[in-house]
Amino acid sequence: MAAIPLLELQDISLSFKGVKAINDISFTVGQGEICALIGPNGAGKSSLLNVINGVYQPDQGVIGFNGKSYRKMQSHQAAVHGIARTFQNIALFKGMSVLDNVLTGRNLKVKSSWIEQAFNIGRAPSDESTQRQKAEEIIDFLRINQWRNSIVGTLPYGLQKRVELARALAAEPRLLLLDEPMAGMNSEEKAEMSSFILDTQREFGTTVVLIEHDIGVVMDLSDHVVVLDYGKKVGDGTPDEVRKNPDVIAAYLGTKH
Amino acid sequence: MDFFLEVLTGGLLAGLMYSLVAIGFVLIYKASGVFNFAQGSMVLFAALTFVSLLERGVPFWVSFAITLLAMIVLAWAIERIVLRPLVNRPPITLFMATLGLSYIIEGLAQALWGAQVHGLDLGISDEPLEVGGMLLSQFDLFAAATAGALVLVLSLLFNKTRIGISLRAVADDQLAALAVGIKLQRIWMVVWAVAGFVGLVAGLLWGARLGVQFSLSLVVLKALPVLIIGGFTSIGGAIAGGLIIGASEKLAEVYLGPMIGGGIENWFPYVLALLFLLVRPAGIFGERAIERV
């Protein structure tokens, strides 16, 4: 964790109608790190991710990103700063093709105005080909080429998860938030997804924050683990440190039976 | 045969008038996946504002510009007050909001301009014109040309630019659209403003035909079978649906009417739409719903 911090959460609290979902959480994610958020269901992991990308605004606390501090994020603003994400329940554009879905990920990279696009003049032609080329690169990278023209809603679950990752990567994010990228997958699919995440980190230097329940996968994949329980942070460190932390064992990994 | 052609052409042209109204629905449907119940009120609001300005001595094009501005302000207000708090809510919530909105817009129009019936003269004579041996209404020809121009501009806007793909994205999943940096609020504002503009055009043409009055908001009922046949998500479909409805209702009136007592023009489109629902529920050009279970 010696790396320069990219994301610094300070005293973040969030409540829904009096129920505290997140209670005074602070932690730091270094540049280029893979950080896993673990904890039982309802521990506040997804809420925290939603705070980082601006779906929820925290009641308290500061979000530091890339050297600047924000009292709160807006979804659009988060995207502009280079935060991309996937969702727990897959939020793809189901009626559109794989390619079109990935192209929407390029949304903020489009330089030409809509008037130029309408008449295919000025910056529009080169812009269009750049976006397509980048989208194709990502599609190759995640090996979803053979489904590039399939309508996303018709694809099996595991592939949809991969398309969602592709759309997030198309934005060339600095920070990638993955909400249970391997939920509902078998061990083979999990291994494949893990290798895609590692490749992403190596190839693009992307910082990753992910939520995952499979402890085996988490320990193999991540450089850094943050453990939440009832909205509080109970552990923070390398996988080995977390594994030995008695609070974490009590809260999450369970006592010996 | 000549008579048949004349009825058919007359019907096709009249059908484009329905298409004009239907296009307004398609726009909102594309951007939010809901049927905008307030479209009829927007047609009425636009027509009433325009005709009231005209009657107060404001020149034609100035009235047009002011009304257009009013529709844009209306779109802005709708986005701010009604749509923004409803992000990420189920489509039915949005639909109910448009239902309420339709009464508010109607009430607003009435409060501003009163409830009298106004005549509207666009300066296009409704005398029949002889084209290739057929007598066609000049007004219908003008309306058809307007519909054609509108479709051309809109397809340029929605098929060639990023706006099109953003629209579909917003309609599919608002949360995901926000996460990829699509400005949901701006997309909604633009679409409602364009729907307001389409409403203005439809309002002027229908207003000139029927007089500007509160029943004008009921012309949307004729747009319903057009949408069912053409598909809710396609501007081209709205045109095709309009042509089919226009032609079939006139032909049915002329050829089937005498057999079952006439007046079938009013309900025939709905029967046709029902038949379509049995055979092709998404319409001719509509996107078929994809559901994996």
Q: Determine the Cα–Cα distance for residues A84 and A181; give it in Å rounded to an integer.
A: 13
Q: Determine the Cα–Cα distance for residues B264 and A126; give it in Å rounded to an integer.
A: 55
How much is the pTM? 0.84
The mean per-residue pLDDT over the stretch A107-111 comes to 87
Check CB contact under 8 Å for A55 and B178. Answer: yes
Same domain, A101 and A142: yes
Q: What are A116-129's pLDDT values in tens digits?
A: 888 888 888 888 89
Same domain, A182 and A77: yes
If we measure between CA atoms, which residue out of A105, A1, A108, A7 comes closest to residue A52? A7
In this complex, is the C-beta atom of B163 within 8 Å of any C-beta atom belonging to chain A? Answer: yes
Same domain, A183 and A253: yes
pLDDT of B116 > 50? The answer is yes
Q: What are A183-229's pLDDT values in tens digits?
A: 888 889 999 999 999 999 999 999 999 999 888 899 899 999 999 98
pLDDT of B41 > 70? The answer is yes
The mean per-residue pLDDT over the stretch B109-123 comes to 87
**By the 8 A CB rule, do A48 and A12 touch?**
yes
Q: How far is A213 from chain B (nearest CA, A)?
A: 23
Q: How far is B132 from chain A (nearest CA, A)?
A: 36
Looking at residue B290, its pLDDT comes to 62
Q: Which range, of B9-13, B30-34, B248-252, averages the lowest pLDDT? A: B30-34
Q: Determine the Cα–Cα distance for residues B45 and B77; give it in Å rounded to an integer.
A: 15
> Can you give the length of chain B in residues?
293
In sequence order, what E strands does A98-214 have?
Answer: 175-179, 207-211
Same domain, A183 and A76: yes
Q: Determine the Cα–Cα distance for residues A15 and A234; give it in Å rounded to an integer.
A: 19
Query: What is the span of the domain harbouring residue A45?
Result: 1-82+175-194+206-257
Q: Determine the Cα–Cα distance for residues B139 and B247; give it in Å rounded to an integer.
A: 17
With respect to residue A126, please indicate whether it lies within any of the assigned structural domains: yes
Domain range annotation of chain B:
2-279
Check CB contact under 8 Å for B182 and A120. Answer: no
**By the 8 A CB rule, do B58 and B267 touch?**
no
Percentage of chain A beyond pLDDT 90 is: 61
In this complex, is the C-beta atom of B292 within 8 Å of any C-beta atom belonging to chain A? Answer: yes
With respect to residue A217, please indicate whether it lies within any of the assigned structural domains: yes
pLDDT of B191 > 60? The answer is yes
With respect to residue A87, please indicate whether it lies within any of the assigned structural domains: no
Looking at residue B265, its pLDDT comes to 84
Q: Which range, of A122-136, A165-179, B133-147, B187-201, averages the lowest pLDDT? A: B133-147
Q: Determine the Cα–Cα distance for residues A65 and A207; give it in Å rounded to an integer.
A: 12
Q: What are B157-189's pLDDT values in tens digits?
A: 888 888 888 888 888 888 899 999 998 888 889
Same domain, A180 and A163: no
With respect to residue A106, please indicate whether it lies within any of the assigned structural domains: yes
Find how far residue B280's CA is from the centre of its chain.
Answer: 22
In this complex, is the C-beta atom of B248 within 8 Å of any C-beta atom belonging to chain A? Answer: no
Helix (H, G, I), strand (E, B) or coil at A131: helix
Mean pLDDT, all residues of chain B: 88
CATH architecture of B2-279: Orthogonal Bundle (1.10)
CATH number at residue A21: 3.40.50.300
Q: How far is B236 from chain A (nearest CA, A)?
A: 18
Same domain, A185 and A61: yes
Same domain, A16 and A136: no
Integer angstrom CA distances of residue B75 from B54, B186, B239? 22, 11, 24
Looking at residue A1, its pLDDT comes to 45
- DSSP notation for B8-36: HHHHHHHHHHHHHHHHHHHHHHHHHSS--
Q: What are B241-287's pLDDT values in tens digits?
A: 999 999 999 999 888 888 887 788 888 999 999 998 998 888 888 77
Q: According to DSSP H, which parts of B56-161 are helical?
A: 60-77, 91-113, 138-159
Which residues does A contribute to its contact with B (CB < 8 Å)? 53, 55, 75-76, 78-80, 84-85, 87, 91-96, 100, 103-105, 107-108, 110, 114, 117-120, 151, 153-154, 167, 171
Q: How confident is the model at residue A34 (pLDDT cuts 50, 70, 90)?
A: very high
Count of structural domains within chain A: 2
